[in-house]
Amino acid sequence: MDKKKYIVTGGAGFIGSHITDMLIAEGHEVHIIDNLLTGKRERINPQAIFHELDIRDAEKIQPVFEGTHGVFHTAAQPRMQYSIEQPKLTNDINITGTLNVLLVARDAKVKRVVYSASSSAYGTGHPMPLKENMAPRPIIPYAIQKRVGEQYCQMASKFYGLETVCLRYFNVYGPRQTTAKDGPYATVIGIFLEQRQKGEKIGIVPDGKQKRDFTHVSDIARGNLLAMVSTKVGKGEVINLGTGKNNSVIEVAQMIGGPYEFIAPRQGEVSETLADNSLARELLGWSPQISFESGIAELKKLHKIS
């Protein structure tokens, strides 16, 4: 890729910071827009240009977009349970913020926006694996909001000529993932690792039988870069990024090791996620590179867990 200017909204976040690192490694000029509500300053690549701004304020973010080739829109309030407690706040960030990014990108003549969508938009009641042509059945406010974001991307491509791609992430894990100290309902693997480090029992909700398609953050970041340059997309296509394999939560706890206990169930938990990633392979040339076993081994080493 020739050197270009890119924006990563939410670039101080878990996934956004990994996308930023990959772009900088390729020699691009990267601007981060993040209000640090859930992002962390220490995740910001020192070679990136940081703008402490809020995507809910279209007027303030507009100057950053001038001369930008592409936008990776990862900024969101991602906690599902929190969206039940605070539906208006999460709606403002996840829907109004997304519409702002799309409209400002349109006005700045940005070529393409790659949108961080969510497999939670599928909801419940589908046979596995989950395919993009299945009817969305989102229930939790966060899932509804992320689905509306997809529809706004498709609208922007249809009426404004802004190229968009929507990547539905499955359960993303890896270095810099959120933990319990980042608030409740952080990434389950991050919570388990933190509990193990502290010598606490791992808390499994509710019986550990629910299965998740855990996808490494470096595979997700690479999928974003491929989506930005693929000539086969740009009209708001919805594409799964998942491994096509899944593990139960109790298996995860056992891989991390140590004692565990069962705790109260949470609202809106689905029993299983499993991606059909054939469309990502076809349209993006993407396939997962990191096995779950090697990803967990890497994290245990990082957290000094034997």
Terminal CA-to-CA distance of the chain, rounded, Å? Answer: 40
- Between the CA of residue 28 and those of 5, 41, 112, 225, 278, what are the distances in Å? 6, 20, 16, 12, 29
Dig out the tokens for 198 from the structure.
Answer: 């502290």
CB-neighbour burial class of residue 165 (10 A; exposed 0-12, middle 13-18, buried 19+): buried
Question: Per residue in 11-37, pLDDT tens?
Answer: 999 999 999 999 999 999 999 999 999
Dig out the tokens for 33 from the structure.
Answer: 């827009």
Question: Per residue in 130-181, pLDDT tens?
Answer: 999 999 999 999 999 999 999 999 999 999 999 999 999 999 999 999 876 6
CATH topology of domain 5-173+215-243+274-289: Rossmann fold (3.40.50)
The whole-number average pLDDT for the span 36-57 is: 97
Question: Per residue in 171-206, pLDDT tens?
Answer: 999 999 987 666 554 688 999 999 999 999 999 988
142 in catalytic set: yes
CB 61 within 8 A of CB 34: no
The whole-number average pLDDT for the span 67-83 is: 94
Please name which of 12, 101, 5, 103 lies closest in space to residue 52, comparing C-alpha atoms: 12
pTM of structure: 0.96
Question: Per residue in 239-248, pLDDT tens?
Answer: 999 999 999 9
pLDDT at 181: 67
CB 213 within 8 A of CB 243: yes
What's the CA gap between 179 and 210, in Å, rounded? 20
Helix (H) or strand (E) holding 247: strand 247-248
What's the CA gap between 151 and 155, in Å, rounded? 6
What's the CA gap between 97 and 117, in Å, rounded? 14
What are the structural domain ranges in the chain? 5-173+215-243+274-289, 180-211+247-272+293-302
Catalytic residue among 6, 115, 122, 142: 142
What's the CA gap between 17 and 41, in Å, rounded? 10
Second CATH level (architecture) for the domain 180-211+247-272+293-302: Alpha-Beta Complex (3.90)
pLDDT at 306: 84
